Amino acid sequence: MDGLNEEAERFKSELRGLDQDRFGTTSLRDMSEELRRIQCQRDATKEMISMNRMQLFIDNMTDFEETLVALEFAEVKQVMAFVWGSVRHLLERTNPTEKAFDNILDTYEQLGVKLIRVSEYTSFFREVPTAKEYLVNIYKDVQHFHSLAYKLFFTFRTKLWQKLHKPTWKDLKTTFTHLADSLQLHASRIEEYGKPFRDPNRHRTAGYDRTDSGIEPNQAENPDQVPPEIFKYRGDLSELRRKFRQDEEERKREMQYKAITWIASSTKIKKLQDDFREMRICKNTGRWLFRRYRGVSEWLTEEGGNEGSLSQSAIWLHGNRGFGKTILASLVIDELDELKGREHPLIPPNSKTYYFYCQEEDDEHRTYLEILKGILFQMVQQDDYIVPLCHEKMSQGGCNSLSDADTAKSLIETIAQYNPRQYIIIDGLDECEPAEIRQTAEFFTKLVEMCDNANEHGQLRLMIMSRDVPEIKKFMTENDAIIPLKPTDNSEDIKAFVRKRLPEFARSDQNLGFNLSEHDKDSIESMICRRSEDSFLYAHLAIESLLQHITKGDLLKEVKEDILPEGLERMYEMLLGNLERTIKRQQGGARVWEKSKLLLGWLVCAKRPLKWHEMQAILSFDAQEAKVDFDNRMLKDDVRRYLGSIVHVLDGDHIRLIHTTAQRHIVGNKHINEKKVQCELTGLCLRYLSLPCFTKTDDYKSPDRRRQAKEGWFSFQDYACSKWDSHIDTFIRECSSLFAPTIEWEKEQEDFEAALNLFFDTHGEEIRADPHANLDTTHLQKFEHTSFSENLSALWNRVHIHQQVKDEERNKVGIPQINTSLLENRAALEECKPNDEVLGERYIKDLYGLNLFKCRRTLCRYFYIGWDTEVARKSHENRHDRPFPCPANCNSAPIGFSTNKDKDRHVRIYHPELAEGPSVFEALSRRQATGQARFTCHICGKNFTRKINLSGHERSHYGDRPYQCSFSSCDKAFARMNDCRRHEKIHKKDK
């Protein structure tokens, strides 16, 4: 029975520190004494609980031990010590926490009823050696349960396992059921095949009447001779385990998918890391960071705690814009993976690394909530043990998407204490708004401090990369935690980078190259490095600009005259100038360049990041002919054909400028006139929304709508419907100078006037309204001399009115007919599939992307991101929908209630005059609070002395019930934890 020793050793290896001795020296007597102590203690405190649930398990495992003794198994004491030690210390550990203690007793009862008295089959095990396999498997199943329980209750601090216990135990119930089924299989086969040997009195009498089972005594003494019944048992057990593993993997996969879908973080995080890794084209790029800055190398590898030399768990590296900090961040992330993957790891192999890249131009990468969601997403993705915790929060919140920073913080705080070593890297935090920076820096630095104090110093480590901004400095109190990057730090990296890219000037399969001498190459390298100073970005832009030359003479002239501009702004302008010349030299280059300027202008002036198919839609919209013609106007080449290295394309068709500095510099150069582009985009939105598919006309039929859906007519509607009012706002505030009396109108001005008049002719009836009392007309006065001022004023008034309405209406398009048409257009489009062929060799996904099911709320980012299935969209929209509104339309319940019961309760409390019947009891006066009521409800203004009371009160406004009864047979939920606990006592009494 070597399998028993092997299983005991396996279990022992999972025990930590002193637990190996504490568990390994426990006897049945020790366990029994602990059981009696707990019973006496509970009896004294009048907290008795049904502990007789343990009886069958203890009796049958005692019998199991006696059987091993009878079979003369030498290591019986050591093997069984881990069973009794587990029972003893699990009961001792969970006794103070009633629910955990109750769950332990339940599971012992569940397993105990499946065990049998194996001593009755002692002769069977003795005379059929292979039958001992049953005993080994029984022991393995019991210790499997103890392993799962030990991990939860002994590897975490008490406060942590108390948070994890409820969702984790609930998740483990399928495993416990499987173990019970497995024990049942062992028992049934022992009873079936051991029947001829069974001795109820634990010894066989002479008159024992045997029933033939086909197994003869000593039949299997030859190790190579295994009875067919054992083969069948092995097959059945293997199938049981295989089926469980398969079902469990599928269940966990689905649960993780639901949790990740609920978190709904940016999907671009990993792609950004891959892109930045590819940008590190030189082998040793950035490695000076680990050599020169001891604080960084310590942060990576040094041990924390009392014996470690780690100085700071949180560090902040700051440097100038364009320094290459993002590349350094990507290097640190890869370095951590490499350090833990070595044969002799320098950091714990089970370390976790989470990271986030902030990006100024991307709404999914520039807010506190999105940063939290990005980190939480990676936590859940890397460890399925904490998925049940997320699942619990998901079900408690009643929402299908994480939209609350407090919930995300709570989960991250718990998970951060779970893993023994975790690293968090946040890059580019300065690209967020100051308020977002402050919240992010405060939360993560305090989280590190909490982990340092509560656990081991260095368990959680934080690195922030950014420019030097005061919002971060406030929270980095230790001087040695702040690491300023020197301008000279990356000089060798820039030189190596330039040298690495010089071969691009040489001959290749695509061109003959410039045939540069070594002196020419040295001159280029010297000039770029000198001008770059500490800016990697400048070096990259300089090389891209020089590569635009088409002759060696032009290139060397620029090098010899040393005319590379100073500063990023002039470098961007030079890069665009060289790109223009390169494109124009090609056949049809002038037309291509005009397209390039259009695309670039739209990219930098759009109200949100555009996707490539949306830019194609703008190009395919023939404003004069009032039609969308993808077939004839769609660009056949990739966006890089028109914008070169200024952009890069992410997953999901997202287009990004090369750097966050690009937008502010490009809009100010001679190639892009920001005001004219804004004027053009505004006019395009107005003309597009004047198409027949957005109007109410008898001439436009359903077949027309379905046909146009397949021809790409609706590819621009997500942007136009949600952003036309934002463009009107920008136009009025920033573009008045284009229409000054002294300015001679050009095409842009004329097109805008025509577009505005067309829009007004189409939707005028729904636009006209009495002027709003608070309408700001300051900027409108600058248009008073124009012929379209009256229409513009009326449209601005409509936009302002729409901004003042309640959330539900504000999430619709401000003009009802356009909103109605939008939904009808989407319904027609949703009949298609991404891979449906249209327009010959085109596919629906070429015109619309892969996600055809979009949220109907214009202010939600999923209005344009969408999903690939209707089920996913419906799941998301459920969180927006509260189907039971307050009949009084009060501010205390702005979005209604999820159940009619919650609505009725709200009406009884806040609007008793609307309740269906009179109140049975008069309301009792509330007692006066003794402390200062400093927590105020933001909905009704009521004050509270304790924040927990405020939270419970605010949930009552919405009918939220986050506290679910922990008994699986009950589906009740409560707004307050105390109410839930009071309710659960009913179940305990019933037991």
Question: How confident is residue 210, by pLDDT bands cut at 50, 70 and 90?
Answer: very low
- Cβ atoms of 450 and 414 within 8 Å: the answer is no
* Tokens 């045939």 belong to residue: 515
Q: What is the CA radius of gyration of the chain?
A: 36
Residue 397 has a pLDDT of 65
Cross-strand pairs, 221: none
Are the C-beta atoms of residues 262 and 390 closer than 8 Å to each other? yes
> What mean pLDDT is predicted for residues 639-650?
72
Tell me the three-class secondary structure of 257-279, residue by residue: HHHHHHHCCCCCHHHHHHHHHHH
For the segment 89-112, the average pLDDT, to the nearest whole number, is 95
Looking at residue 513, the DSSP 8-state letter turns out to be -
Name the nearest CA neighbour of 147 among 181, 114, 176: 176
DSSP state at residue 922? P
Higher-confidence position of 425 and 776? 425
In 3-state terms the chain splits into helix, strand, coil percentages (rounded to 5) of: 60, 5, 35
Report yes or no: 230 and 133 within 8 Å, Cβ to Cβ.
yes
Q: Which residues is 944 bridged to in the sheet?
A: 935
Percent with pLDDT over 90 in the chain: 50
347 sits in the region (left: phi over 0; alpha: psi -120 to 50; else beta) called beta
Two tokens at 367?
């807010």
Please return the burial class of 31, using the count of CB atoms within 10 Å of its CB with bins 0-12, 13-18 and 19+: buried
- 635: confidence class by pLDDT, cuts 50, 70, 90: confident
Two tokens at 30?
Answer: 């020790």
Residue 368 has pLDDT above 90, yes or no: yes
Domain topology for 900-990:
Double Stranded RNA Binding Domain (3.30.160)
Phi, psi angle pair for 426, to nearest 5°: -120, 115
pLDDT band at 603 (very low <50, low <70, confident <90, very high): confident
Structure tokens belonging to residue 559 = 């090098």
What is the residue type of 200?
A: P
DSSP single-letter state for residue 867: B
pLDDT at 684: 92
Q: Taking residues 273-298, report their average pLDDT.
A: 93
pLDDT tens figures, 376-395: 999 999 988 889 999 888 88
Quote the CA–CA distance of 439 and 367 in Å, as a whole number.
9
Name which of 413, 410, 412, 419 is nearest 459 in CA terms: 419
Superfamily name with CATH number, domain 269-484: P-loop containing nucleotide triphosphate hydrolases (3.40.50.300)
| pLDDT tens for each residue of 889-930 | 554 444 455 566 667 766 765 566 666 554 433 333 334 444
Percent of the chain topping pLDDT 70: 87
The amino acid sitting at 696 is: K
Task: Supply 143's token pair.
Answer: 């210790």
Amino acid in position 83: V
Beta-bridged to residue 484, according to DSSP, are 318
Higher pLDDT, 641 or 601: 601
**CA 834 – CA 850 distance, rounded (Å):** 6
N-to-C CA span, the chain: 40
Q: What are the structure tokens assigned to 21, written together?
A: 């001795």
Please report which helix (H) or strand (E) contains residue 353, including its range: strand 352-357
Q: Is the confidence at residue 697, as pLDDT, over 50?
A: yes
Report the C-alpha gap between 517 and 538 in whole angstroms: 24
Q: Is 647 helix (H, G, I), strand (E, B) or coil?
A: strand
Cβ atoms of residues 157 and 455 within 8 Å: yes
Q: Which amino acid is at 387?
A: V
Nearest to 609 by CA among 668, 671, 652: 652
- The distance between the two most distant Cα atoms of the chain, rounded to a whole number of Å, is 124
